[in-house]
Amino acid sequence: MVATNQDDFGNSTRNLARSGPRRPADPKTTAAPRTEVSGMQTFWGLLSAYWKSDQRRVAWVMTIIIAGITWFVAKVGIWIAESAGAFENAKATYQTPGNLDPFHRFYTAGIMLVAMISLNVVSVATRHFFSQTLHRRWRMWLNQQFTDATLNDKHVILNIQSNAHLDSVDQRQQECLKNLAGNSIGLAMGVLTVVASTWEVSSKLWSISTPVKGAAAFGDYASFAITLGLIVPFAFACTWGFSKLGNLMREVNKTFQEAEGAYRGELNTMFRRASQITASAGERVQKKINRNLYSDIDHVWHRNNVLQAGFTGLQDFYSTMSFQILASVLALPAYAQGAISFQTYITTAALVGQLTNGFSWLINVTPAMASLKADVERVNEYAVEIERVQDAKSYFRETGIHDFTYYTHEAKKGIVVSGLELMHEGHSSKPFLIAERKELHFPAGSWTALVGNSGSGKTSLLNALMGQNDYGRAVVFLPDGEKPFYACQDLRISHTSLKQLVAGSEDEDDYADADIAAVLSETGLGFPDFLRNMNEKTCNGRPWERALSGGQKKRLFLARLLLHKPEVALLDEVTAGLDPHSQQAFYTLLKQHLPRTTVISSIHNRAMPYFANGKPVYDHVAEIDAGVLRLRAFRSDSALHKADAQGAYSSNV
């Protein structure tokens, strides 16, 4: 199959009807891995991919550093507890008889406590720096993998959008990747914090444990048994309860993301077609559409608020029970019986607080866990679809007829299309466009006007020649050499430089400024401000989207054509909106600079264009009428260039 390339900055209009969403596939049944995201179709596959990649050394070094600091923070927590006990004891015994230098004890204990707190602050800040660095690097790597997998020569970025089930692809690659990386790191740190705190605190409580009346069976370790016997089951029970709540939050989060994605997609579309909305006074209808979409967000948001309120209440209950009650009560029997000193009592209470704080971290990330699961599911679906769409024939044959084959041959043979039938989705779908002849031949260097009523299939035909049609069949022979140049009616101006806009699908660095300036001047875009700012993203402070007029945006297509000089140019109403004089200048310049280029161009008006010398611009006409494509040579005495009274095209050619 010949590799083709859609204009990077154009919108490909797709006229194919959709009968419903394609059912997502089970990743276990997909084809053999072919892309950078092939191993990211499952939960653990996605989360572990970075640590198995060519960046694994950096990933593991950062992970080990974060784990080491986390364990060290747990040890510092023990030191803080001991320092807090000494400080509280120094206060309590300040005026005790026999305390010869109370201020020195108080001062020393205070300095030690401040030092331990400072060490904890520095450790936590250092861990935060490394965790955020890991987050940044991991997200960057994930983004690059999905970018490489979608922007290849198999039209993935276009074909994947045929699945209505896969909503908000941009959200999946941007927000979901960012969130899952951050939440995964936070969750892992939380789990490690619980493990480290449990181990370190338990070791310390074991070492200071004392007998307690009524618990003689535990001997010298009675206080240890009582403390862990109550706090650990309590913490685990609360954590289990929060995890159940997290499952509900996950479903709500996923629904919320879908609603947000739908609303954002409509907003993006609205801003792109702002001129059409205002020109047709469509604000009222657009407001209704926006209001209906936002109502879905508001409904899900309400559910999320209810769950968040419940979570916050339970979290406050856990904190109050842990820090205000359990931490003070558990060591009280031993202290009341005189088995431990006041300093040991304070230290024990602080250690219990340290232990429950470790569990609270795991509880606090419950919302993040819910979000993580939702994000991973959406990214998994995205990765599965990317893999499936690599084989376009198998992908589209699941839901319809897809039998396009592309070959290349000598450039002098032009373009040959055999057995053309274009269809909509569905295995029983009938063709909405067929060719009158079994074989269509567009001679090399010929100019063919593609005409037909709106919705007749002109754009679908051009998409088929480019290898971008979903359903139908055809055998297409294209000239050997560079990929066909495709230009559509609407040019979407990206936030980039004018030089890149002219370079189009090629890298601007591959062209000298002089070459770009030359084609800009040839096409009437060689204004001093344009040339001076062509390497900038703005022109005198205005983005190029606003700096260029509608006619000048059309001339960008012409500038690209003159720069690339393709063997084949497929133009989809690129002169729409230009006045007759500008259209004539467009065709004249194109004919002068690309005399051997094979051009197939859909035209928006009913009158065929002519050059200033009276010669017709097009020497062939491909007319679509009642679903049938007829290719004829155009004669100057043809009536096709005039519209009849009913507004239909005459076929007297």
What is the per-residue pLDDT across 46-86, written as a single tens digit (0 to 9) for each? 999 999 999 999 999 999 999 999 999 988 888 888 888 88
CATH 1.10.10.10 fits 28-199+226-390, yes or no: no
Q: What is the mean pLDDT of residues 198-224?
A: 76
Among residues 77, 80, 82, 101, the alpha carbon closest in space to that of 343 is found at 82
* Residue spans in the chain of domains classed CATH 1.20.1560.10: 28-199+226-390
pLDDT more than 70, % of the chain: 86
Question: CA-CA distance, 270 to 498, in Å (whole number)?
Answer: 25
Longest Cα–Cα distance of the chain, Å, equals 123
* Ranges in the chain annotated CATH 3.40.50.300: 485-633
State residue 606's pLDDT score.
Answer: 62
What is the amino acid identity at position 574? V
Distance of CA 261 to CAs 255, 266, 297, 328, 389, Å?
Answer: 10, 9, 10, 48, 22
Do residues 139 and 232 lie in contact, with contact meaning Cβ atoms separated by under 8 Å? no
> pLDDT, tens digit, for every residue of 572-626?
888 877 778 888 888 888 888 888 899 998 887 667 888 888 888 888 999 888 8
631 vs 273, higher pLDDT: 631
Model confidence at 122: pLDDT above 80:
yes
**CA 203, CA 542: separation in Å to the nearest integer?**
65
pLDDT of res. 396: 87
Its CATH class, for the domain covering 485-633, is alpha beta
The confidence score (pLDDT) of residue 324 equals 65
Is the confidence at residue 27, as pLDDT, over 50?
no
The predicted structure's pLDDT at residue 468: 79
Q: Residue 338: left if φ>0, alpha if ψ -120 to 50, beta else—which one?
A: left
Residue 327: per-residue pLDDT: 66
357: pLDDT strictly greater than 60: yes
Q: Are strands 538-539 and 542-543 parallel, antiparallel or unpaired?
A: antiparallel
How many helices (H) and strands (E) would you count in the chain?
Answer: 21, 13
Angle at 583 between CA 581 and CA 586, to 5 degrees: 110
- Range with lowest mean pLDDT among 171-185, 191-205, 512-526: 191-205
Q: Per-residue pLDDT for 263 more than 90? A: no
Measured CA to CA, the distance from residue 201 to residue 74 in angstroms comes to 8
231 Cβ contact list (under 8 Å, min separation 6): 322, 326, 330, 352, 355, 356
Evaluate whether 618 touches 609 at the Cβ level (below 8 Å). Answer: yes
Distance CA 244, CA 366 (A): 9
Q: What is the DSSP letter of 237?
A: H
Q: Which two tokens stand for residue 361?
A: 């971290």
How many other CB atoms are there within 10 angstroms of residue 536's CB atom? 14
Distance CA 534, CA 496 (A): 10
If you search the block for the tokens 């469509």, which residue do you land on?
Answer: 282
Give me the pLDDT at residue 104, please. 85
Q: Taking a C-beta distance cutoff of 8 angstroms, is the pair 536, 565 a contact?
A: no
Q: What is the SS3 assignment for 105?
A: helix
Termini Cα distance of the chain: 34
The per-residue pLDDT for 4 is 37
Distance CA 411, CA 447 (A): 15
Please report where in the chains the tokens 């009650």 appear, as a residue: 325
* Beta-bridge mates of residue 417: 440, 476
